[in-house]
Amino acid sequence: MIRVVVVDNEPLVRAGLSHTLDAAADVWVAAAVPVSGAVAAIREQEPRVVLLDSCTADAAYLSAGIGSLARPPRVCVLSRSADEQHIALALASGAAGYVLKNTPPEQLAPLVRFLAEGWTMTSTAITTSLTRRYLADLHRDTTATTYLDNLTPREREVLTHLHQGMSNTDIARRMHLAHGTVKDHVSSVLGKLHATNRVQAALIADRAPATRHES
């Protein structure tokens, strides 16, 4: 039996997802909770899979809370947005999947099974978009490595934390630095990587083999 926790701030969405998944013989929705109760429910129920609403300002808090568990679940983000930056940020933060909320209900149980077996899952439209972007960016791997060579050891450490989806406050706490110092480091990293935002920096890091090993 695959234990699942559903996290969404809309009661009707929680009820709909729970009803659909409970119809599968091998899936059990152990809890369906709003974002505010997510970490507590996940700690208590120890699910294999978490279906997580993407519309939350608590993403960093949730990521840290889930990531601190001895046996963290496979997290799949449920979203109405197919924006590539949102997708990249979710995956860079450790999500095992990113699925649009217009996914047909009959696909939810198979999705949960694949996630539980260790697969990374995205909606078809998202997979097509990411594949197209990946093929277009293949030639940029060498450039990404060159950019990373310009970073200082401290900036590389900051980039590693950015790649993990941490906020400036989280990075400051982790590295025992002042918030302003971290902000300066982040600005320097973005400049040296020729990135306009944190998501682009994470993607550049992901294209460089050395940084993947470090993170």
Model confidence at 139, pLDDT cuts 50, 70, 90, reads: low
Is a pLDDT exceeding 90 seen at residue 44?
yes
Host domain of residue 36? 2-122
State mean pLDDT over 180-192.
Answer: 94
Express each pLDDT in 2-43 by its tens digit: 999 999 989 999 999 999 999 999 999 999 999 888 889 999
Is a pLDDT exceeding 50 seen at residue 213?
no
Query: Which tops the pLDDT comparison, 110 or 81?
Result: 110
Tokens representing 2 are 């695959």
Same domain, 92 and 24: yes
Work out the mean pLDDT of the chain and round it to a whole number.
84
For the chain, give me the number of helices (H) and strands (E)?
12, 6
Tokens representing 202 are 């994470």
- Which residues, in sequence order, are CB contacts of 85 under 8 Å at separation 6+? 197, 199
Residues counted in the chain: 215
Q: Cα(31)–Cα(182) distance, rounded to whole angstroms?
A: 38
Cβ atoms of 132 and 87 within 8 Å: the answer is no
Domain tally, the chain: 2
Neighbour-count burial for 182-208, b at 16+ CB within 10 Å, e otherwise: beebbebbbebbebeebbebbbbbbbb
Tokens representing 176 are 């025992």
- Which residues, in sequence order, are CB contacts of 142 under 8 Å at separation 6+? none
Does pTM surpass 0.85?
no
Same domain, 71 and 111: yes
Same domain, 83 and 148: no
Same domain, 118 and 159: no
Is a pLDDT exceeding 60 seen at residue 58?
no
